[in-house]
Structure 1
Amino acid sequence: MDILRNLKKLANFLSYILERRPDEFGLLPDNQGYVKIKSLLSAVNEEEGFKYVRRFHIDDIISSLPDSRIEIKEPLIRGKNFGNLPKQVIAVNPPKLLYTCVREKAYHFVLENGIHPVGGEKVLLSLTKELAEKIGKRFDPSPILLTVHVLKAMDAGITFHSLGELYCSDIIPPSCFTGPPLPKQKEEPKPSEKQIKPETEFMPGSFILNIKAEEEKKERTKLQRKRKEIDWKKERKRADRIKY
């Protein structure tokens, strides 16, 4: 009974997101009400009491609850009553400031080329920094928060659409947003004096004494002398035996 009760609770929560307020959770459905299953799970896992939810729980809802109000079209999901969703319309009087996040590694590119869609067809913008950062952390653990100057973007010809608490656009030009300064790049450590090998200057008519080679030569000479001495002693003993 507990399992079935938990499934019904989860099913109602998913229906609320998919059929009523996807914008509240930073989700932007397409024209047919679909969102990515992966994006939905990321949003659900952020909510207290639903951090345990995985893909198989959604499959269990569809197979176990005959009155389930969700349907899947891989890799997308939507509510069956998606007609209740708020409509995406052109924002006539948008707020002066909106917020979005970009990947930390892409920040340098964004500063030069503007904000482009990540994993979707639109640049997703929110009314609050908190929601923007929540969305940003779904694709980067340390996203860069940017402030979009809406009126300046509209003067540059950018059109904004709204869906509840979310806004979106095709692109945000580099001159229409602000953000923190670029993080300082780590400088490569300079080699220490011990690591730097001094260059040897050659003078005309000079040569370099290879100490190791000289030592090896001396050792070979010693061995040769010992062998000669041993051979001489052997010959001496042989001669003495013949004599006596």
Structure 2
Amino acid sequence: MSKKEEFKRKDLYHLLKYILSYRPDEYGLVPESEGFFKIKELLWAVHEEKGFGYVRKGDIEEVIVREGGFEIRGQRIRANERHWTMNMDDNGSDIDIPSILYTPIRNRAHLHVLNRGLFWGKNQYIPLFKTPEFARRIGKRKDKDPVILEIMAERAYSEGLRIIPFGTIFIAEEIPKRYIIGPPVDEKIGLERLQKERKQKLSEEQKRIRDAFSAGTFPLRLEDKRGAKKKKGKKPKGWKEEVRRWRRRNR
């Protein structure tokens, strides 16, 4: 390995250590369970740094082999030493929650979120940012034109919604729709998405019905009697002929 490549590896190691061990919040990253981050989201953050656009998962794996300090499980990564904490059970009254916080969503999720609220799934937390600019920067990692939502954080917190600080940002497990303020959905786009969802549901229902009817069925085999040859010989005797024979014998 050349000195240039070694310097690049060392620089990447120090960047990963800073992000994962000290300040994931500065990069808009929120850990999942056990302190793990999604590698693809880490790569998005790394690529924003000048001179690190080349980094791929293989480069991170090489750093781990040569330098240590990190653990990969599947598509997730964490630092062995972490100097940050995140406790979702901590909902004390001394937390200073801003009146409004911001979070980005993809354009295609706009209508759904306004109708249903925000929930990312088990052990996944929603990042809430103090400025719309920070939210937009993070949102552009997934969508070139993200929708920025305003969250009535202070009101939500006062009414019992769990929101906790994580470094310079805040995180929540869910955001009910009553606390979300967002730009109106374009009527045409909203109608198209609604029709698409209905069409998809109808297609799924039709498939379910087809599967239900096809279960346990078998193909019918119909024989064409028109081309069948007649059997030679006498026809089988019917019951009338048998009766006549019996009468003749008993006269």
TM > 0.5 between the two?
yes
Task: Output the CA distance in 2 between the equivalents of 1:31 and 1:86.
Answer: 12
1:154 corresponds to which residue?
Answer: 157
Give the C-alpha shift of residue 170 in structure 1: 1.9
2:134 corresponds to which residue?
Answer: 131
Secondary structure of 2:174's aligned partner: coil
Task: Output the CA distance in 1 between the equivalents of 2:43 and 2:169.
Answer: 19
Instruction: Mark the runs of 5 or more structure 2 residues left unpaired by the alignment.
Output: 193-251
AA matched with 1:49: G
What aligned pairs does 1:60-71 form with structure 2 within 5 A after superposition? 60-63=62-65, 65=66, 67-71=67-71
What aligned pairs does 1:35-184 form with structure 2 within 5 A after superposition? 35-63=37-65, 65=66, 67-82=67-82, 84-88=83-87, 89-90=90-91, 92-117=95-120, 121-184=124-187
1:4 corresponds to which residue?
Answer: 6
Q: 1:54 to 1:24 in 2, by over 3 A?
A: same
Larger radius of gyration: 1
2:36 corresponds to which residue?
Answer: 34
Task: Output the CA distance in 2 between the equivalents of 1:4 and 1:175.
Answer: 52
Q: TM-score normalized by structure 1?
A: 0.69
2:21 corresponds to which residue?
Answer: 19
Determine if contact 2:103/2:149 at 8 Å carries over to the other structure: yes
Task: Output the CA distance in 1 between the equivalents of 2:108 and 2:99.
Answer: 27
C-alpha deviations, 1:51-100, integer Å up to 9, x for none? 2211111122123x2x4322212111111112x12444436221111110
Determine if contact 1:90/1:162 at 8 Å carries over to the other structure: no
Determine if contact 2:126/2:171 at 8 Å carries over to the other structure: yes
Q: TM-score normalized by structure 2?
A: 0.67
Task: Output the CA distance in 1 between the equivalents of 2:120 and 2:165.
Answer: 16
Secondary structure of 1:106's aligned partner: helix
Q: 1:76 to 1:151 in 2, by over 3 A?
A: same
AA matched with 1:145: I
Give the C-alpha shift of residue 155 in structure 1: 3.9
Determine if contact 2:97/2:157 at 8 Å carries over to the other structure: no
Task: Output the CA distance in 2 between the equivalents of 1:171 and 1:45.
Answer: 28
Secondary structure of 1:90's aligned partner: coil
Task: Output the CA distance in 2 between the equivalents of 1:156 and 1:173.
Answer: 12
Determine if contact 2:32/2:123 at 8 Å carries over to the other structure: no
Is 141-150 or 68-77 further displaced after alignment? 68-77
| Superposed CA RMSD | 2.2
